[in-house]
Amino acid sequence: MRRTQSASRAVWRLAASQHGVVSRAQLLAAGLNGPAIHRRLENGRLHRIHRGVYAVGRPQVDRYGRWLAAVLACGQQAALSHRSAAALWGLIEGDPEPVEISVPLHAHRKRPGLLIHRRSNLGNASLTRRAGIPVTSAPRTLVDLATQLSIRQLEAAVNEADRLDLISPDRLKAVLAKERGAAGGPKLRELLDSRIFALTDSELERRFLRLVRRANLTKPLTGAFVGDYRTDFYWPGLGLVVETDGLRYHRTPTQQAKDRQRDQAYVLAGLTPLRFTHAQVVREPDRVVSTLRAVVSRLSARNS
């Protein structure tokens, strides 16, 4: 009896540290035998999630519990990967289904409800832990995402990785240089080398950068400070500053007054400020492009 109680306490402690889930191997290591595990399944103290993986105490687990249960179901060298890893890192929104797991090439596991990727390049440098869950590293996750996402979605994920201080674009380039055989490498490398790629805070700003390319402008600085103000886009050689106003901001009289003060400060600094609204960038891209071209032509002639 005392041994059983000790094993039960060990199981509860383990479950508390693992988002409410445990594996059969862990239950055996804690001191339970096969019949004891079976009894706990019958009386509702354990609830099967995958073969050999259980929720402890109650059947419901949060997404962290589901992610870890999926990893435990696929063996010791398994790790959360692809879209599931991206959700854990906070690079994409939502809770993608099915849960995606990467395992070594020699592992031939099949688990219903899981998407399993067998990998030949799943080394220790590609793996880490987050929230106690084995997961592919942020750089490896971005490389994997490049095989699944559109270029716009991938660009947003890279920006989010930088915003969260997970990895900078320059560091990501260095990682890619060492991993020439990765399937998503060429697409991600092309994005990072693109003339229009720059770190931005929103989808609106990323849309604007595509209009910059259409206007045949050089890539601007993003987030650079001019005086006391952080600019959206800045071309120092031209003396041009562009601000983009999103849907949720710049509507109130107070914010509009602040925008005018900002633009006046740019003029006093000898710069030319331009401001485009969300509607203009999204619905009138041709007009935005023609405006950029005209202003840049005038500034180039003045500076020549």
What does the pLDDT look like over 233-280, one tens digit per residue? 999 999 999 999 865 444 567 777 888 898 999 999 999 999 998 889
Contact indicator for 90, 55 with CB cutoff of 8 Å:
no
Fold for 203-303, please state it.
Endonuclease; Chain A (3.40.960)
Q: Residue 258's pLDDT is what? A: 82
Give the per-residue pLDDT at 248.
Answer: 44
pLDDT at position 249, please? Answer: 42
Please give the model's pTM, rounded to 2 decimal places: 0.77
Each domain of the chain, given as residue ranges in start order, spans 2-59, 64-193, 203-303
Residue ranges of the chain with pLDDT lower than 50?
248-250
Give residue 250's pLDDT. 44
